[in-house]
Every structure is written in C-alpha cells, then in structure tokens.
Amino acid sequence: MTHEEFVDWLRDEVRNERMSESEMDDLLRQKRLFDGERSIIESEYYRRVVGYVAGYRRVANGIHELIDAAKAQFPDNMIYFEPVGFTLL
C-alpha cells in the first residue's frame, strides 16, 4: 500500500467514524517516524515486526508481542507497524 493509499484508507476510517481524527493524526505521526528511519529499520530488523508508538520504536518477533507491549505501556496511543522482510498473513 502506498502512503497515499494509506492516507485515503485512514480518511475513510474517520469519515465512517471507525477512527477519530486525532487517532489518524497520531498514526500518521508514528508512520512519519518509521519512514524517516526506514533504511535503518530494514537493515537492522530483518524478519522482525517494527513499530512506533508515542514516538518510540518498538521491535518484536511477532505482531501480538508488539501490540501487547505497546498497549501496556501506551494504552491511549496509536501504533504504526510493519513486518520487515516478510508479509503478515
């Protein structure tokens, strides 16, 4: 998904009241952090799940591990994450 497609998807989420505008803004802030470090992340965290929450990078072996840890520490913040070197399915 391109950045533009991601933004369009988020806007649809807000329009349909599945997400607030402040949640969308938070998620986009976290994505900007990820994108700014993408080359480092892709070289250092192959086959891991990497995310940003509340401005902090989080790395885990699996998505549930990442989400559980992020929610425990920052329950009111959005989490932007991507698998590095593999797809989640």
Q: Is residue 45 part of a domain?
A: yes
Q: What does the mean pLDDT of the chain come to?
A: 95
Q: Is residue 88 part of a domain?
A: no
Q: Which residues contact 21 (CB under 8 A, 6 or more apart)?
A: 14
pLDDT in the model for residue 88: 78
Residue 75: phi and psi, rounded to 5, are -65, -20
Q: Is residue 65 part of a domain?
A: yes
Q: Is the pLDDT of residue 89 over 80?
A: no
By CB atoms closer than 10 A (0-12, 13-18, 19+), residue 61 is: exposed
- Tell me how many domains the chain contains: 1
The whole model's pTM is what?
0.91
pLDDT in the model for residue 80: 97
Q: Is residue 16 part of a domain?
A: yes
Full domain range(s) for residue 20: 3-83
29-58 pLDDT tens trace:
999 999 999 999 999 999 999 999 999 999
Strands of the chain, DSSP E: 49-53, 56-60, 79-83
